[in-house]
C-alpha cells in the first residue's frame, strides 16, 4: 500500500526549492545543489540541464488512480512517458530543474514522494510483486513491509548514511524480491506456535564487488522488524566507510570484520537496541477489496495463449495474478492513462510495478480475465510472457551519465534478430536476460541466467562498444549465486550471440537454462563467444564502431556519479577551490582576493561533517570558530585570522597564515577515520 507522507517532507521541498532558485540565479555551486537534489531522487541526465525524478513505490504498489495521476505529471513536466525500474520505482524523465519543486509538491498531493529515490539513503523497499497472492507464501509480507516503511521514512538517519541502504521482502523461497542480494533481506517463517516471523539476511549487493547476503538470524519475530532494521542501520551509519564511496556499502564491512565477525557485531547491535526498549511493529491493515459489478465479456483473439502464458490462478483464493511485460519498462502517458481508467474497478491494490520492468496485476477475479485481456490488447500490452519483452535493460548512455553503452538499442536489435531467425517468440520463456550499460548492476545482470554489462574496447586507434558476458546467476532462499564472467563480445554481435545461445539451449533438449549451463552449456556459450570476438578494421566495415541506435561513432564519455552524492562532494568542492587558489598565487606576493577565497573555503570545508550548514559567509566563520577552534580541533592561534575575515578586514600580508590554516584543515580531514570522526584533541 502507499505510505503516508511525513509532515517534514513539505519543509524539505521548500528548502530544495530555495536551493534551486539560488542555483538558477548563479549563487549556488552545482555540486552543492547535487547533494541537495540527489537524496530526493533527482538525477541529472546525459543531456545537460535535463533531470529525472525517481518516485518510490513500496513493493511497486501504484494504484490505478495514482498511475493515471503519474501519467498526468509526466505529460505536464516530462517526456510524456513513465519508466518502470528494476527496484519497483517509477521515473519521470526530461524535467527542467526549475520545475522540480512544483513536481514534488504535486507528487505529495497524490500521496507519493521521491525522497530516498537516490543518494546515501534508505532506498525504495522491495516486496515480491505477487506478495499476498503467492501460492507458496506462509503469510503476506506486504503489510509488514508497509509498516516498516511508515517508520523509517520519518527517521532522520534514513537520509544521511555512508551509502545507499537497500531492503527487500521476498514472499517465498523463490526469492522474487532478491532478498538474498540486498543490504537487508527478509524471508517469511512461522514459529511452532504459529507466530509470523522472518529469516534475516544481511550485507548482500550487486554493484561493485557483488556478493550474496549472509544469514544473520533464522528467526526474528515479525514485531521486531523495526528493531532489527534500526540496529543494523545505526551500525552501518557508525561504521560505514564515508571516506571512500566505492567501499561504503554494508557488504564492504565484511572485509573489515570478516563474515562471522560482522554477523556477531550485527547480532550484538540488535540485542543492544532491544535492551534500550522498543515499540513492537504491527502490520498495516489491508483493505478488503470490493469489486464493482461488471458485465461478462467474450474472450478475444489470442486469449487462450495469453491465459496460459501470463496468468496464474491462486489455488486457495481462486483469483488471478497477471504478468504484463512492458518492453524496456517504458510506458507512454497515454497507455498509463488507459490502464488507470480501465483497472479502476479492480480496486486500488490491483496494480504493482514488478522487478522485471513489468506490471503485475493481482487479485483479479477469473471471470473478468477476458475484460483484462481486452484492455491490455487495446494498449498493445497483451504480449505473451517468454518473448523479447522480458529482457531487462537499464537506460544506459541514452540518459545515464555513467552509462557506456546503449542497452535499449541492443534489446531492439535482439528483437529484430529473433524475428529474422524464426526462433519461437516464447524462446525466452523461463530465461532471465539482463543488460546493463556499465559495470553498475542497475539491470541486475549479476543474477541473470544470461547477463551483459557495457565496456569500451579498442582496435587500432578506434574505440568500439562491447559487453562483458556473465552466465548462471541463481535466485532462491539459501542458494543465491552470482553469475560467472565468461568473456566479452562486441556490441555489434550481441544479438547474434543471444540468438545462437538460445538455439543451442533449445537444441539440447534440456528444460532449464541453468541445468544446460551447468552441463555442456557454459562451454558451448564460450565457444560461441570466441566465434564472434573479432570485428573488422574501420575501413572495411565501420558499423561495429557504432553502438545500437547511435548516430555517431562510439565514444565512452562518462559524467560524474550522481547516486552517491553526499558529504564528500561538498568537501571536494572546497578542496578543489583551495588547490586552484594555491596554484594561482605567488606566496611571496599574495593577493587579497585569493587569500580570502582560500580562507573561506578552508573554514567551510569540514562544517558539513558537523552538520553545520550556514546560509551566509559570516555564518561560515562563526561555525568554524565554534565547531573547530573552540573545540580544540584547530589551534587557537588562528582565531584572530578568522575573526578578521568575518569582520571584512584586509588579509593583505597574511597569506602565509591563510595557507597554514588550509594545511591544518587538510591534515584534520586526512586524520578522520572512515566514519568521519575527528581525532580527540589533546
Per the listing, cell 588562528 goes with 638
Q: How far is CA 523 from CA 472, 520, 530, in A?
A: 12, 6, 11
Strand partners, 330: 83
Q: What is the pLDDT of residue 292?
A: 52
Q: Among the listed ranges 279-293, 351-365, 389-403, 570-584, which one has the minimum average pLDDT value? A: 279-293
Q: What is the pLDDT of residues 592-651, one digit of tens each?
A: 889 999 999 999 999 888 767 777 888 899 889 988 998 899 999 999 999 999 999 999
Mean pLDDT of 390-408: 89
φ and ψ at 605, to 5 degrees? -50, -45
Residue 409 has pLDDT above 90, yes or no: yes
Residue 399 has pLDDT above 90, yes or no: no
Distance in angstroms (rounded) separating the CA atoms of residues 80 and 334: 8
Distance in angstroms (rounded) separating the CA atoms of residues 494 and 433: 12
Comparing 679 with 627, the larger pLDDT belongs to 627
Q: What is the pLDDT of residues 295-315, one digit of tens each?
A: 667 788 889 999 999 999 998
pLDDT band for 275, please (50, 70, 90 cuts).
Answer: very high
When the pLDDT of each residue in the chain is averaged and rounded to a whole number, the result is 91
User: What percent of the chain has a predicted confidence (pLDDT) above 90?
Assistant: 74
Residue 579 has pLDDT above 80, yes or no: yes
The alpha carbon of residue 282 and the mean position of all alpha carbons in its chain are separated, in whole angstroms, by 27
Q: How many other CB atoms sit within 10 Å of the CB of residue 638?
A: 22
Residue 427 has pLDDT above 80, yes or no: no
Q: What is the DSSP string of 445-488?
A: GGG-SEEEEEEEEEETTEEEEEEEEEE--B-STTT-BPPEEEEE
Comparing CA positions, the residue from 80, 95, 109, 5 lying closest to residue 41 is: 95
Calculate the dihedral angle through the C-alpha atoms of 172, 175, 179, 185, rounding to the nearest 10 degrees. 20
Strand partners, 197: 189, 221
H or E, element range at 82: strand 81-84
Q: What is the pLDDT of residue 379?
A: 96
Q: Among the listed ranges 63-72, 135-144, 278-287, 630-639, which one has the minimum average pLDDT value? A: 278-287
Are the C-beta atoms of 161 and 179 separated by less than 8 Å?
no
Per the listing, cell 560467472 goes with 484
How many C-alpha atoms does 299 have within 13 Å on its Cβ side? 10
Q: What is the pLDDT of residue 289?
A: 55
Q: What is the pLDDT of residue 477?
A: 96
Distance in angstroms (rounded) separating the CA atoms of residues 257 and 213: 15
Q: Residue 47 has which C-alpha cell? A: 543531456
Q: How far is CA 358 from CA 235, 328, 389, in A?
A: 35, 9, 9
Q: What is the pLDDT of residue 30?
A: 83
pLDDT band for 287, please (50, 70, 90 cuts).
Answer: low
Mean pLDDT of 141-158: 96
Amino acid at each position: 500500500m502507499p505510505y503516508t507522507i511525513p509532515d517534514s517532507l513539505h519543509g524539505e521541498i521548500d528548502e530544495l526549492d530555495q536551493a534551486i532558485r539560488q542555483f538558477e540565479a548563479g549563487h549556488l555551486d552545482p555540486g552543492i545543489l547535487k547533494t541537495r537534489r540527489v537524496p530526493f531522487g533527482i538525477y541529472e541526465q546525459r543531456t545537460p540541464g535535463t533531470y529525472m525524478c525517481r518516485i518510490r513505490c513500496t513493493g511497486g504498489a501504484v494504484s490505478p488512480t495514482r498511475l493515471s495521476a503519474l501519467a498526468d505529471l509526466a505529460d505536464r513536466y516530462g517526456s510524456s512517458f513513465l519508466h518502470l525500474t528494476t527496484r519497483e520505482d517509477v521515473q519521470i524523465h526530461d524535467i527542467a530543474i526549475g520545475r522540480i519543486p512544483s513536481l514534488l509538491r504535486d507528487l505529495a498531493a497524490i500521496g507519493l514522494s521521491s525522497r530516498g529515490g537516490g543518494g546515501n539513503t534508505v532506498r525504495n523497499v522491495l516486496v515480491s510483486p505477487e506478495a499476498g497472492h503467492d501460492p507458496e507464501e506462509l503469510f503476506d509480507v506486504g503489510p509488514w513491509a508497509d509498516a516498516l516503511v511508515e517508520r523509517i521514512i520519518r527517521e532522520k538517519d534514513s537520509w544521511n548514511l555512508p551509502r545507499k541502504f537497500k531492503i527487500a521482502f521476498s514472499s517465498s523461497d523463490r526469492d522474487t524480491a532478491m532478498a538474498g542480494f540486498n543490504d537487508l533481506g527478509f524471508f517469511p517463517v512461522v514459529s511452532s506456535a504459529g507466530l509470523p516471523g522472518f529469516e534475516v539476511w544481511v550485507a548482500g549487493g550487486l554493484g561493485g564487488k557483488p556478493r550474496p547476503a549472509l544469514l544473520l538470524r533464522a528467526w526474528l519475530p515479525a514485531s521486531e522488524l523495526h528493531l532489527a532494521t534500526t540496529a543494523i542501520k545505526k551500525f552501518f551509519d557508525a561504521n560505514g566507510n564515508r571516506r571512500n564511496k566505492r567501499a561504503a556499502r554494508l557488504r564492504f564491512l565484511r572485509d573489515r570484520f570478516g563474515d562471522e565477525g560482522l554477523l556477531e557485531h550485527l547480532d550484538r547491535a540488535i540485542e543492544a537496541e532491544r535492551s534500550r526498549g522498543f515499540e513492537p511493529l504491527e502490520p498495516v491493515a489491508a483493505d478488503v477489496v470490493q469489486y464493482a459489478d461488471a458485465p461478462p465479456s467474450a474472450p478475444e483473439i489470442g486469449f487462450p495463449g495469453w491465459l496460459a502464458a501470463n496468468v496464474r490462478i491462486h489455488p486457495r483464493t481462486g483469483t488471478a495474478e497477471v504478468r504484463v511485460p512492458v518492453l524496456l519498462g517504458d510506458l507512454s502517458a497515454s497507455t498509463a492513462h488507459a490502464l488507470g481508467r480501465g483497472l479502476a474497478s479492480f480496486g486500488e491494490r490491483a496494480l504493482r510495478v514488478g522487478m522485471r520492468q513489468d506490471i503485475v496485476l493481482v487479485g483479479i477475479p477469473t471471470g473478468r480475465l477476458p475484460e483484462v485481456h481486452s484492455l491490455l490488447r487495446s494498449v498493445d500490452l497483451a504480449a505473451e510472457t517468454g518473448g523479447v519483452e522480458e529482457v531487462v535493460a537499464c537506460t544506459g548512455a541514452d540518459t545515464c551519465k555513467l552509462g557506456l553503452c546503449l542497452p535499449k538499442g541492443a534489446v531492439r536489435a535482439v528483437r529484430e534478430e529473433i524475428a529474422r531467425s524464426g526462433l519461437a517468440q516464447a524462446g525466452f520463456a523461463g530465461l532471465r536476460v539482463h543488460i546493463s550499460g556499465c559495470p553498475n548492476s542497475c539491470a541486475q545482470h549479476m543474477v541473470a541466467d544470461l547477463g551483459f554489462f557495457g565496456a569500451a574496447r579498442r582496435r587500432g586507434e578506434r574505440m568500439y562498444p562491447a559487453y562483458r558476458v556473465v552466465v548462471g546467476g541463481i535466485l532462491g532462499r539459501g542458494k543465491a549465486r552470482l553469475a560467472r564472467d565468461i568473456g566479452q563480445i562486441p556490441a555489434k554481435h550481441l544479438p547474434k550471440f543471444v540468438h545462437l545461445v538460445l538455439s543451442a539451449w533449445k537444441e539440447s533438449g534440456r528444460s532449464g537454462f541453468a541445468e544446460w549451463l551447468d552441463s555442456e552449456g557454459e562451454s558451448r556459450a564460450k565457444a560461441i563467444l570466441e566465434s564472434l570476438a573479432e570485428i573488422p578494421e574501420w575501413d572495411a566495415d565501420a558499423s561495429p564502431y557504432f553502438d545500437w541506435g547511435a548516430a555517431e561513432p562510439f565514444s565512452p564519455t562518462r559524467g560524474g556519479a550522481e547516486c552517491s552524492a553526499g558529504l564528500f562532494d561538498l568537501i571536494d568542492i572546497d578542496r578543489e577551490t583551495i588547490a586552484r587558489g594555491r596554484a594561482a598565487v605567488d606566496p611571496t606576493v599574495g593577493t587579497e582576493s585569493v587569500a580570502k577565497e582560500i580562507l573561506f573555503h578552508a573554514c567551510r570545508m569540514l562544517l558539513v561533517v558537523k552538520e553545520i550548514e550556514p546560509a551566509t559567509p559570516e555564518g561560515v566563520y562563526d561555525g568554524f570558530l565554534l565547531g573547530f577552534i573552540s573545540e580544540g580541533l584547530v589551534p587557537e592561534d588562528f582565531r584572530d585570522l578568522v575573526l578578521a575575515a568575518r569582520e571584512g578586514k584586509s588579509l593583505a600580508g597574511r597569506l602565509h597564515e591563510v595557507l597554514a590554516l588550509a594545511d591544518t584543515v587538510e591534515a584534520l580531514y586526512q586524520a578522520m577515520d572512515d566514519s568521519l570522526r575527528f581525532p580527540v584533541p589533546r
